[in-house]
Every structure is written in C-alpha cells, then in structure tokens.
C-alpha cells in the first residue's frame, strides 16, 4: 500500500483541515500528517493510529461511527469517506501504518545494473538495460561494428555547424 498515493490524499481531503499542519486550526491536539504525533495518544488519551491493530485505532472507530457527536469528519464539514476509502485506511493500519515521505523529499538512489548473459557486449552502463530488454525479447545485439566507429562515422558525415553566414560565391 502506497501512503503517498493512496492514504495521504484521503487524510488530506478529509482530516488535515482539523488534524493537519496548521497549528491554529488543529483540534484535540491531534496531527495526522506526521507519524510521530498520529501514533501517540492525543489530548483525549486515545491513540488515533495503532499500527497493525485497526480495531484499537481511534481513527477507524471515528470514521465508522454512526453517532453524530463521534463521527469524523464531522457532519458540519460536509465531507464523508467512501466505503472504499475506509477500507483502504483499515488495510493501511493493518499493514503497519507506514508513513513514507513524499517522493520529492527522498534522496534519489542509482539503481543497480540488471544481470545480462552477454557481458562482452556491454561497454557502458546503459548497455546493461538495452541488452536486458533484447534478451527478454529473445533477440541478440549486433556485434559487427565497434561503437567508436559509429561515432566517427556520424562525425565525418555530418556537416559542421557554425554561426557564420555563408559567403556569396
């Protein structure tokens, strides 16, 4: 389950107005956008999210409540979670309620090179990926021409580009 794609939008659209980053709007001392606060008891003493135990999580109790004073989001907010959204939240909590940073805050990591059979063909990093795709398709790379020869041929047959205008003849 992907927190950023599936869970955060549900919480953002339905819960963050009262339980989000805005300290002036926050209610009950509960902040659901950060795991550090969502997994600890709120001012009421109840814990909103108990990883692995949706039955003990106040969040699930509130979004499934039928009594107007207990149901979240409050009826006055004109927001209501769909049964699909409720089930996604339940599954997320059951799976451990893993909060993950938005992808833009995660340091990129270079992927490893895929394993290929014809290592003698590989000259650069990208060749691993090309060869892997060829092997998946049941194809073999051409072995006849050296890569340097291709570059030299391209340079020799391409006219030079200059900023000077052509001279009249």
Cα dihedral sign, 137-141-142-147: positive
Contact at 8 Å (CB) between 157 and 149? no
What are the structure tokens assigned to 125, written together?
């990093």
- CA 101 to chain centroid, in Å, comes to 8
Rounded to whole angstroms, the Cα distance separating 48 from 91 reads 15
Query: Which residues lie below 8 Å from residue 90, measured CB to CB, with a gap of 6+?
Result: 54, 60
Q: What are the domain boundaries of the chain?
A: 3-105, 119-157
Tens digit of pLDDT at every position of the chain (169 positions): 889 899 999 999 999 999 999 989 988 888 999 999 899 988 788 899 999 999 999 999 999 999 888 999 998 888 999 999 999 999 999 999 999 888 888 899 988 999 999 998 888 889 999 999 999 999 988 875 555 555 566 666 666 666 666 666 5
What are the structure tokens assigned to 97, written together?
């309620």
What are the structure tokens assigned to 156, written together?
């020799």
DSSP count for the chain of H helices, then E strands: 7, 0
Return the closest-CA partner of residue 32 out of 55, 5, 10: 10
Rounded to whole angstroms, the Cα distance separating 80 from 34 reads 22
């Amino acid at each position: 389950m992907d927190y950023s794609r599936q869970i955060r939008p549900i919480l953002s659209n339905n819960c963050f107005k009262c339980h989000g980053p805005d300290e002036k709007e926050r209610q009950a001392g509960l902040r659901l956008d950060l795991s550090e606060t969502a997994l600890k008891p709120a001012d009421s003493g109840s814990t909103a999210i108990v990883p692995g135990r949706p039955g003990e999580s106040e969040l699930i109790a509130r979004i499934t409540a039928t009594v107007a004073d207990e149901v979240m989001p409050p009826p006055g907010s004109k927001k209501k979670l769909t049964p699909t959204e409720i089930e996604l939240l339940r599954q997320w909590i059951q799976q451990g309620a893993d909060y993950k940073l938005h992808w833009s805050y995660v340091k990129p990591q270079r992927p490893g090179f895929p394993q290929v059979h014809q290592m003698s063909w590989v000259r650069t990093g990208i060749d691993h990926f090309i060869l892997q795709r060829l092997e998946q398709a049941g194809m073999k790379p051409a072995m006849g021409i050296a890569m340097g020869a291709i570059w030299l041929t391209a340079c020799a047959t391409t006219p030079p580009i200059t900023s000077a205008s052509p001279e009249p003849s």
